[in-house]
């Protein structure tokens, strides 16, 4: 933290000379940026950001002052994009440290441990500094340094050829951590390729599907700070997303009297701070949530007015109860009857949570009414077959309490997310890539990315040009050996360029490794649903901005970054021009300046255009006598709207209504063949982006797409339900969906402080289970999955629900002898492939001290780098949401005498069989009218509408 105001005692002590007066020269009054009750903190005042002096901590007890230029940017270590300020040493021009940015409306000056640890990533002695090209065979570990020019020319020629030959579907961009608000999507549409692939189906598809089927939005944005009751289906805080912005608002809500309940089989940090810990048996959450819904309905605690107006109850009645009176009271009774079996006792039987607690929490939720904030991100929705039912039944509680979009309630995240206006919008592509959206998964959210190597193995297609971008499927995905096999086959992946700030297990199997910037070394636009407001933030390369302030010209960001570390934004512009140098492919025009016709756009112009078209920003900039871009470079963030409540009630203007039709029965307003709103109380309102423009309790979409049994919120028994486990044989459920809040998936391996805090991932086991096996903390345990096994250590803890075991997924990083990088966190392993499909990994040595320019590297005291559990998991694609169902049925075993810590064995032939078993569960397209996918569903990079129809 920067300047801290003296306390009263400090002031007196300084005045009478008991302690040195360290606050002289800082008497600038109140420079705090946070004005919420009792939560004010102080920062260097903005007018001193060009020249800020503070005492150098390492010089103590000498009083040495250092001068800094302070430049704002945003963190890239999770999705929240909290504000950071970089302190750039004026003597040597190097970044010294990162603090919070008090002008950032999402994080309000605060960060989690991963924010300030950005400095470790920047100074990491093992980072990649120059573009590299492989020598020898893929995966052999030999690299040569090449120039950016060579990289651009070679890759551009390959893309150009593929496009000229109509092989557009062989070009793909596969993203792990995005965080750039549509930049890459625009590039891909500029190229005319259906080439977007993401990590969403191993992360959040389950929860997204459950929300989407209700109200067309696929993520929640809880207003924790104003809630009376907060219910988290968690691991989500521990899993990193919105960790700091949500955590600070949850505490704020609690300080104002809110009660917090957390559903999680682990006593996580969040659960330990909660008023109610509900340790549900994994996969039974929806049963508990439905029991709560039933109690709220029976007790009359539901919000009648909201349900009457904003639920498609009339459609539910006409489709499911056409024989009954079609009035609202009958509807409520039908609903109670519908969920008759979901008694608290039934929920207790399923989940293990006492019926009395379920009842108590349900009543509290009902009493909180509109001030009921909820959140589900990964966690249960990503762990289970039918996990999407968890978010669907959670939203059910928001619907019946009328807390959708209210103050203290839960809004759709899209209301809080800013949509940038681009200088150029390419037309939708004329391709549908079935490797990303195959017919078997017409409802998937989103691309079936974790099945890609299986699709390629089956001969469904090829990747001729494949970009992985801050993405590490060999390590983060299930079934990593199948990825390795595919990557090593040049018939499947013709060319693989890994765009990454750090070495990772996937980059080892690339043809080009292209060093991309960490958060303080790149441009991005950010906007996330951290609370009920809407903001944008500007991630900027801080040394470039410092150079600008010093009057130096910089053309490309790699000129100021360490080595030749670049950024994607400029890379894509340069690449696009080289794909289409003369403009004949129609690509180049999408990368021409809006201010200098016919010339190549530069990065300042790209953002200048967006900021000029951001509501309220031109006025704010004008007040200061600067441009919009200068404003963002100065503050790093801008609040577009302080609140975004009840956007569904936004009225449609008379102008917009001209030419629209209103359906006399449903009140749905249509224009140009599209639903645009709904009549409520005689007023035309925008409603929700569903066919009924309301919350869809009854989903005709589920019926139309062959899943009528799930037309209303329900509970699906998970693939790891207690009924399918044979406890006598030692079968347990393994929960692998959490990580510790100080770690990221891959990139914390380059942050020494973070690895020092947490560096092992043992199996969490309750004392009762440990006693059954005779395990004590530190003993080895063999975890047998469907396709292999891993050997790990046991951690005996009361913080785990009995009968369930868990293992954090953030550790177990590895490198082979021939690989480079990440020595803070990686075990050195041997990988053997004794016969086709059979893979073995064993740990040769753990993490060890090493010599480098960073003296701390020789002080490493930890040795256990953890175990790579994900690589032993088979793919489990949910047949509806497409989500990988992470929870594993494992057979616990005492290791044999030859088993060592970290040993791994996998059979990829078995992995392919499991893939096929799950594929059998699907109900493929076409849907109604020969559709591949419902037209109203979201899809990244929507192609031309005609491509939605299967010509079969």
Residues that bind ligand SF4 (CB under 6 A): 75, 77-78, 80-82, 107, 111-112, 114-115, 243-244
State in angstroms the smallest separation of the CB of 99 from ligand SF4. 11
Q: Is the peptide bond before 147 cis (omega within 30 degrees of 0)?
A: no
Question: Nearer to ligand SF4 by C-beta: 243 or 915?
Answer: 243
**Does residue 641 contact residue 608 with C-beta atoms inside 8 Å?**
no
* Nearest to ligand SF4 of 78, 685 (CB atom): 78
Q: How far apart are CA 704 and CA 668, in angstroms?
A: 20
Nearer to ligand SF4, 118 or 908 (CB): 118
Residue with smaller CB distance to ligand SF4, 107 or 433: 107
Residue whose CB is less far from ligand SF4, 80 or 121: 80
Shortest distance (Å) from residue 110 CB to ligand SF4? 8
Sign, CA dihedral 747-749-752-755, equals positive
* C-alpha pair distances (Å), 884 with each of 166, 207, 385: 32, 12, 8
Geometric angle at alpha carbon 147, from 146 and 148, rounded to 5°? 125
Rounded Cα–Cα distance for residues 328 and 305 (Å) = 10
Cβ proximity of 849 and 859 under 8 Å: yes
CA distances from 349 to 190, 292, 345, 346, 765 (A): 54, 14, 6, 5, 22
- For 710, the token pair is 């799930």
With beta carbons less than 8 A apart as the criterion, state whether 527 and 497 touch.
no
Instruction: Indicate the residue among 244 and 701 with the shorter CB distance to ligand SF4.
Output: 244
637-641 β-sheet, strand order: 524-526, 534-539, 637-641
Work out how close the CB of 754 gets to ligand SF4 at its nearest, in angstroms, rounded to a whole number: 10
Q: Which is nearer to ligand SF4, 617 or 744 (CB)?
A: 744
Closest contact distance (angstroms) between CB of 417 and ligand SF4 is 15
Which residue lies nearer to ligand SF4 by CB, 395 or 747? Answer: 747
Residue number with CB closer to ligand SF4 (314 or 521): 521
Hey, how many other C-beta atoms are within 10 angstroms of the C-beta on 550?
A: 11
To the nearest whole angstrom, how small is the minimum distance from the Cβ of residue 242 to ligand SF4? 7
Residue 73 CB, nearest approach to ligand SF4 (Å): 11
Provide, rounded to whole angstroms, the least separation between the CB of residue 627 and ligand SF4.
27
Q: Toward ligand SF4, which CB reaches closer, 102 or 352? A: 102
- β pairing state of 731-735 and 683-685: unpaired
CB 883 within 8 A of CB 454: no
- Nearest approach in angstroms of CB 537 to ligand SF4 is 10
For residues 864 and 846, is the Cβ–Cβ distance under 8 A? yes
CB of 481 to ligand SF4, least distance (A): 30
Smallest separation (angstroms) from ligand SF4 to the CB of 421: 25
d(CA 224, CA 373): 6
Nearer to ligand SF4, 244 or 527 (CB): 244
Categorise residue 673: left if φ over 0, alpha if ψ from -120 to 50, beta otherwise: left
Helix axes 617-624, 603-612, angle to 10 degrees: 110
Strand pairing of 780-784 and 888-893?
A: antiparallel
State the minimum distance, in angstroms, from the CB of residue 467 to ligand SF4: 24
Tokens coding 679? 């009549």
Angle at 832 between CA 826 and CA 836, to 5 degrees: 135
Q: Which is nearest to 398 in space by CA: 276, 265, 215?
A: 215
Please report how close the Cβ of residue 530 comes to ligand SF4 at its closest, in angstroms: 9
Q: Is 822 buried (19+), middle (13-18) or exposed (0-12) by CB count in 10 A?
A: buried
d(CA 545, CA 121) in angstroms, rounded, equals 20
Measured from the CB atom, is 243 or 705 closer to ligand SF4?
243
**Cα separation, 524 vs 636, whole angstroms:** 11
**Whole-number minimum distance, CB 113 to ligand SF4, in Å?**
7
C-beta closer to ligand SF4: residue 111 or 701:
111
CB of 312 to ligand SF4, least distance (A): 37
Nearer to ligand SF4, 112 or 783 (CB): 112
Which residue lies nearer to ligand SF4 by CB, 84 or 267? 84
What distance lies between CA 860 and its chain's CA centroid?
A: 31
* 869 neighbors 875 (Cβ within 8 angstroms): no
Cβ of residue 116: shortest distance to ligand SF4, in angstroms?
8
Return d(Cα 799, Cα 740) in angstroms, integer.
Answer: 14
**SS3 label, residue 222:** strand
Q: How far apart (Å, rounded) are the C-alpha atoms in residues 683 and 679? A: 5
């Amino acid at each position: 933290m920067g300047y801290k105001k003296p306390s009263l005692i400090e002031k007196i002590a300084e005045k009478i000379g008991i302690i040195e007066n360290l606050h002289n020269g800082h008497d600038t009054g109140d420079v705090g940026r946070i004005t919420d009750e009792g939560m004010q903190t102080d920062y260097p005042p903005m007018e001193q950001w060009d020249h800020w002096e503070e005492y150098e901590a390492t010089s103590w007890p000498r009083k040495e002052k250092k001068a800094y230029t302070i430049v704002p940017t945003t963190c890239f270590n999770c999705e929240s994009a909290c504000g950071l300020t970089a302190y750039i040493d004026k003597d040597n021009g190097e970044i010294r440290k990162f603090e919070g940015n008090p002008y950032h409306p999402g994080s309000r000056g605060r960060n989690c441990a991963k924010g300030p640890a950005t400095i470790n990533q920047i100074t990491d002695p093992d980072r990649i500094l120059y573009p590299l090209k492989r020598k020898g065979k893929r995966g052999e570990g030999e690299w040569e340094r090449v120039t950016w020019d060579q990289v651009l020319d070679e890759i551009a020629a390959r893309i150009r050829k593929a496009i000229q030959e109509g092989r557009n579907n062989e070009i793909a961009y596969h993203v792990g951590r995005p965080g750039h608000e549509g930049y890459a999507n625009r590039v891909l549409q500029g190229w005319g390729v259906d080439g977007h692939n993401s990590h969403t189906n191993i992360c959040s598809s389950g929860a997204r599907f459950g929300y989407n089927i209700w109200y067309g939005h696929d993520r929640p944005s809880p207003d924790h700070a104003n809630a009376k009751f907060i219910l988290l289906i968690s691991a989500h805080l521990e899993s990193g997303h919105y960790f700091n912005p949500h955590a600070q608002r949850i505490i704020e809500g609690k300080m104002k009297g809110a009660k917090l309940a957390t559903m999680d089989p682990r006593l996580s940090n969040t659960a330990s701070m909660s008023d109610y810990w509900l340790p549900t048996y994994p996969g039974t959450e929806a049963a508990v949530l439905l029991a709560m819904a039933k109690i709220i309905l029976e007790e009359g605690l539901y919000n009648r007015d909201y349900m009457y107006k904003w639920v498609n109850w009339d459609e539910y009645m006409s489709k499911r109860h056409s024989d009954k009176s079609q009035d609202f009271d009958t509807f409520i009774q039908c609903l109670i009857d519908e969920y008759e079996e979901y008694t608290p006792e039934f929920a207790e039987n399923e989940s293990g949570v006492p019926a009395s607690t379920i009842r108590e929490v349900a009543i509290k939720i009902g009493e909180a009414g509109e001030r009921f904030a909820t959140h589900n991100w990964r966690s249960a929705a990503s762990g289970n077959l039918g996990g999407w039912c968890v978010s669907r039944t959670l939203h059910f509680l928001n619907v019946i309490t009328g807390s959708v979009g209210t103050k203290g309630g839960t809004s759709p995240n899209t209301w809080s997310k800013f949509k940038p206006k681009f200088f150029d919008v390419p037309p939708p592509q004329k391709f549908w890539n079935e490797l990303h959206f195959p017919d078997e998964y017409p409802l998937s959210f989103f691309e079936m990315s974790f099945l890609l190597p299986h699709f390629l193995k089956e001969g469904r297609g090829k990747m001729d040009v494949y970009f992985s971008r801050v993405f590490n499927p060999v390590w983060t995905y299930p079934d990593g050996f199948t990825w390795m096999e595919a990557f090593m086959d040049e018939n499947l992946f013709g060319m693989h360029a890994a765009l990454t700030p750090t070495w990772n297990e996937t980059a080892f199997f690339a043809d080009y490794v292209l060093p991309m910037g960490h958060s303080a070394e790149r441009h991005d636009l950010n906007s996330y649903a951290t609370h009920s407001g809407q903001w944008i933030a500007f991630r900027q390369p801080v040394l470039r901005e410092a150079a600008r302030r010093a009057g130096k010209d910089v053309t490309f960001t790699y000129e100021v970054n360490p080595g030749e570390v670049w950024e994607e934004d400029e890379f894509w512009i340069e690449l696009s021009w080289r794909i289409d140098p003369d403009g004949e492919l129609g690509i180049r025009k999408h990368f021409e300046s809006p201010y200098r016709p016919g010339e190549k756009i530069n990065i300042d112009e790209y953002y200048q255009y967006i900021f000029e078209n951001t509501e309220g920003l031109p006025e704010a900039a004008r007040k200061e006598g600067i441009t919009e871009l200068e404003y963002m470079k100065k503050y790093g963030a801008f609040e577009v709207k302080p609140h975004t409540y009840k956007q569904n009630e936004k009225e449609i203007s008379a102008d917009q209504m001209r030419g629209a039709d209103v359906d006399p029965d449903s009140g749905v307003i249509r224009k140009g063949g599209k639903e645009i709103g709904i009549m409520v109380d005689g007023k035309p309102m925008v409603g929700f982006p569903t066919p009924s423009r309301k919350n869809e309790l009854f989903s005709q979409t589920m019926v139309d797409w062959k899943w009528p049994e799930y037309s209303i919120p329900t509970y699906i028994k998970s693939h790891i339900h207690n009924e399918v486990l044979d406890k006598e044989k030692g079968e347990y459920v393994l929960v692998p969906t959490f990580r510790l809040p100080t770690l990221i998936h891959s990139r914390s391996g380059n942050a020494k402080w973070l690895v020092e805090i947490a560096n092992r991932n043992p199996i969490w086991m309750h004392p009762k289970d440990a006693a059954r096996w005779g395990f004590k903390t530190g003993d080895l345990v063999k975890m047998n999955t469907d396709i292999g096994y891993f050997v790990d250590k046991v951690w005996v803890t009361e913080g785990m629900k009995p009968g369930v075991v868990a293992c954090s997924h953030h550790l177990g990083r590895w490198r082979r002898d021939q690989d480079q990088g990440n020595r803070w966190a990686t075990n050195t392993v041997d990988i053997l492939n004794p016969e086709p499909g059979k893979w073995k990994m064993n740990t040769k040595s753990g993490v060890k001290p090493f010599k480098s320019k960073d003296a701390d590297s020789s002080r490493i005291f930890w040795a256990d780098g953890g175990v790579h559990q994900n690589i032993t998991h088979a793919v489990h694609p949910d047949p509806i949401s497409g989500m990988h169902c992470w929870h594993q049925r494992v057979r616990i075993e005492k290791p044999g005498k030859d088993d060592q810590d970290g040993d791994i064995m996998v059979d990829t032939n078995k992995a392919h069989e499991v893939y096929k078993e799950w594929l059998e569960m699907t109900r493929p397209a076409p849907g109604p009218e020969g559709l591949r996918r419902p037209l109203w569903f979201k899809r990244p990079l929507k192609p031309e509408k005609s491509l939605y129809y299967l010509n079969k």
